[in-house]
Amino acid sequence: MRILITGGSGFIGQALCPVLLDQGHQVMVVSRRPQRAAKHLPHDVEFRASVAECVDFQPEVIINLAGEPIANRRWSEARKAELLESRVRTTDALVALAKTLDQKPKVLISGSAVGFYGDCGSETVTEDSEPGTGFAHELCAQWEAAARQATPYVDRLCVIRIGLVLDQPGGLLDRMVPPFRMGLGGRMGSGKQCMPWIHRQDMVRIIDWLINHPSADGVFNASAPNPVDNATFSKALARHLNRPAMFPAPSWVLKTAFGEMSELMLEGACMVPQKLLDAGFDFIYPELDQALADIVER
Ligand SMILES: NC(=O)c1ccc[n+]([C@@H]2O[C@H](COP(=O)([O-])OP(=O)(O)OC[C@H]3O[C@@H](n4cnc5c(N)ncnc54)[C@H](OP(=O)(O)O)[C@@H]3O)[C@@H](O)[C@H]2O)c1
pLDDT classification of 297: cutoffs 50, 70, 90? confident
| The model scores a pTM over 0.75 | yes
Distance CA 116, CA 142 (A): 10
Q: What is the dihedral of CA 81, 161, 176, 298, to 10 degrees?
A: -140
Is the CB of 70 within 6 Å of ligand 1?
yes
What residues does each domain of the chain span?
Answer: 2-166+196-224
Task: Flag whether pLDDT at 36 surpasses 90.
Answer: yes
**Is it true that the peptide bond before 169 is cis, omega within 30 degrees of 0?**
yes
Mutate which of 11, 17, 202, 220 for ligand 1 pocket (most atoms within 8 A of beta carbon): 11
Between 162 and 258, residue with greater pLDDT: 162
Distance from the CA of 9 to the center of ligand 1, in angstroms? 8
| Residue range 2-166+196-224, CATH number | 3.40.50.720
| Whole-number average pLDDT of the chain | 96
Question: How far from each other are the two terminal CA atoms of the chain, in whole angstroms?
Answer: 33
pLDDT classification of 201: cutoffs 50, 70, 90? very high
Tens-place pLDDT, residues 1-21: 999 999 999 999 999 999 999
pLDDT value of residue 122:
85
Is the CB of 148 within 6 Å of ligand 1?
no
pLDDT value of residue 52:
97
